[in-house]
Structure 1
């Protein structure tokens, strides 16, 4: 507080250890990794298949299906919060990680499909025609040709899904009440009290929370920039 822009006089890790152990950030981080990892893989898998079918296959309602998925991008989470909570309570999915994974996948699919459709449409049709002449079926065209060429788009949509789910607070706060099943954003709120806040421990917890996103950006920055540029032209 005396000099907020100065370097620390003593380097210590006590606040990070406190946040990780006493603040239960270790358990919360594991829960977030499980939820975000499963939601990421499932949304990319089904989103890529749906995008490929809409972009490269000829069927009557392909445009209607694209419009249907785009409607999902317009629905805010606040509108479906109460119906989801009522339905999940009847199904026994509240206070469980699967109750978070399902809506995370549902809200990630529209954006994933929207981005990947642009990448699949931008691919030369002659590649798929030559593959069909050589004997490839539709599944081989998707797995062996479509997915490798859409790798950049997968990086971009996967990163957006991961960061969005990693920082999501509302659904996790409403659906989960067990402290051992809380995700990282919910656990961060415990460091802020109604009458006092331990800022040094809260800042240490925030650094731990944002570290995975920073690491992902640093590792895949080239693919992300390339994907955003290509997607802007081909979308």
Structure 2
């Protein structure tokens, strides 16, 4: 009974803020100040969802976020999977040292590397560039992907690799024909994790992007927050729109995510 009560309380703590965000996104700014917790007498409206794309040019920001996120996830998974396979194939202390070196990337806080990273990107003339932002995202998220994928690939049966090498298969063929197919559940779970990180990232776009043409969605949402006033209806509308891709990705890849987690739990 206590557990059910705790779960019910937790459900209310999650649902109530979500409902407030949805209701506020369907009000005008004046209606929000007049009746912040209730439904206005004139009823709810969807004009904010239309205005945010027409008047606020959110289509371009949305497209920038899609390009940066998909490219960052793809290349981070590509490089991390190859590195993880190499580490899992190296026996002894050398493999452990390599794994520790790449894992150190997760320990260093982003705030510590802000200044040197900005200096490097500036010298490479990659500021105000989606390409530069993708490179930074790949470099920052690769340690996480390597950490997850290495743990899974170490559990793969080595007998299969040895049998394939006896048949004449090289490391690249073993990786593409055996390791990648067997690691798809773990790679899908990692992809969802990286997608959420890159899609919600605000720090690096804030550091490297000043041109409106290259703004991502989280950075564009800051335009609704001024020094003395905040347009909460438009801000919450943008929050809902930016959350939809993550929800859809999880819905469509849920079975792969669960399979990846279960595979790691059973084999680890």
TM range (shorter): over 0.9
Aligned length: 235
- Residue of structure 2 equivalent to 1:17: 50
Correspondence 1:159-174 to 2 at 5 A = 159-174=192-207
Q: Secondary structure at the match of 1:79?
A: coil
> Which of these residues, 176, 198, 201, is aligned with residue 234 of structure 2?
201
- Residue 21 of structure 2 aligns with which residue? none
SS of match in other structure, 1:77: coil
| Structure 1: gaps (5+ residues) | none
Is contact 1:23–1:187 with CA below 8 Å preserved after alignment?
no
2:37 is matched with 4
Partner of 2:111: 78
Q: Say which is worse superposed, 103-112 or 90-99, in terms of deviation.
A: 90-99
Larger Rg: 2
- The structure 2 residue matched to 1:183, chosen from 216, 220, 223, is 216
Q: Which residue of 2 aligns with 1:213?
A: 246
The answer to whether structure 1 residue 144 and structure 2 residue 144 are counterparts is no
**1:117 alignment counterpart:** 150
- Match 1:52 to one of 55, 66, 85: 85
User: How large is the RMSD of aligned CA atoms in angstroms?
Assistant: 2.0
1: distance between equivalents of 2:87 and 2:154? 9
**TM-score normalised by the chain length of structure 2:** 0.82
**2:70 paired residue number:** 37
Q: Which residue of 1 aligns with 2:8?
A: none
Structure 2: runs of 5+ lacking an equivalent: 1-31
Q: Distance in 2 between matches of 1:8 and 1:209?
A: 28
Corresponding residue to 1:62 among 65, 86, 95: 95
Q: Distance in 2 between matches of 1:75 and 1:183?
A: 25
Q: String of CA shifts for 1:47-105, please: whole Å, max 9, x gaps.
A: 00000011124477222111100110101111111111112212211111122111101
Alpha-carbon displacement from aligned partner over 1:18-72 (angstroms, at most 9, x marks no partner): 1122222211111111111111111111100000011124477222111100110
Task: Select between 86-95 and 147-156 the one with higher mean Cα deviation.
Answer: 86-95
CA distance in 1, matches of 2:117, 2:250: 32
- Larger displacement relative to structure 2 (209-218 or 188-197): 188-197
Q: Please give the TM-score of this superposition, normalised by the length of structure 1.
A: 0.92
